[in-house]
Amino acid sequence: MLSQVYEFITIDSFMDTFIRLNPKTTIVSILGQIGSGKTTLAWFLAMNIFKYYYHDGKTVNIREINVYNDYYLNKNLDSVDSLFKTHYPCDVNIYILDDTSFLLNSRSLKTLSLLNTITRIRHITKTNYNYIFVIAHYSRSISPFLRSSPSVFLTSIYPAEIPSLKELFRLSTLYDYMEDYMLHPGRHIYIVRILAYEEKIDFTLSEEKIREIEVFRSIYTN
CATH number at residue 11: 3.40.50.300
pLDDT in tens, 71-84: 888 877 778 888 89
Q: Which residues of 106-140 are buried (b: 16+ CB within 10 A; e: fewer)?
A: eeeeebeebeebbeebeebbebebbbbbbbbbebb
| Domain span including residue 159 | 6-221
pLDDT in tens, 48-73: 999 999 999 999 999 999 988 888 88
Regarding beta strands 189-194 and 151-154, do their DSSP bridges make them parallel or antiparallel, or are they unpaired?
A: antiparallel
Q: Give this prediction's pTM.
A: 0.90
Q: Kindly state the percentage of the chain with pLDDT values over 70.
A: 94
Residue at 1 is within a domain: no
**How many Å apart are CA 187 and CA 184, to the nearest integer?**
6
Residue at 146 is within a domain: yes
| DSSP type of residue 64 | E
**Residue 162 CB: number of other CB atoms within 10 A?**
15
Half-sphere exposure of residue 206: CA atoms within 13 angstroms, side-chain side: 8
Total structural domains within the chain:
1
The angle, 0 to 180 degrees and rounded to 10, between the axes of the packed helices 207-221 and 38-54 is: 80
Residues in the chain, overall count: 222
3-state secondary structure of 65: strand
The torsion angles phi and psi of 52, rounded to 5 degrees, stand at: -60, -50
- What is residue 3's predicted lDDT score, i.e. its pLDDT? 40
Residue at 56 is within a domain: yes
pLDDT in tens, 147-182: 889 999 999 998 989 998 998 999 999 999 998 889
pLDDT in tens, 86-135: 888 899 999 999 988 888 777 788 888 999 999 999 999 999 999 999 99
Residue at 126 is within a domain: yes
Residue at 144 is within a domain: yes
Average pLDDT over all residues of the chain: 87
Q: Is the dihedral of CA 115, 42, 170, 18 positive or negative?
A: positive
Residue at 42 is within a domain: yes
Residue at 38 is within a domain: yes
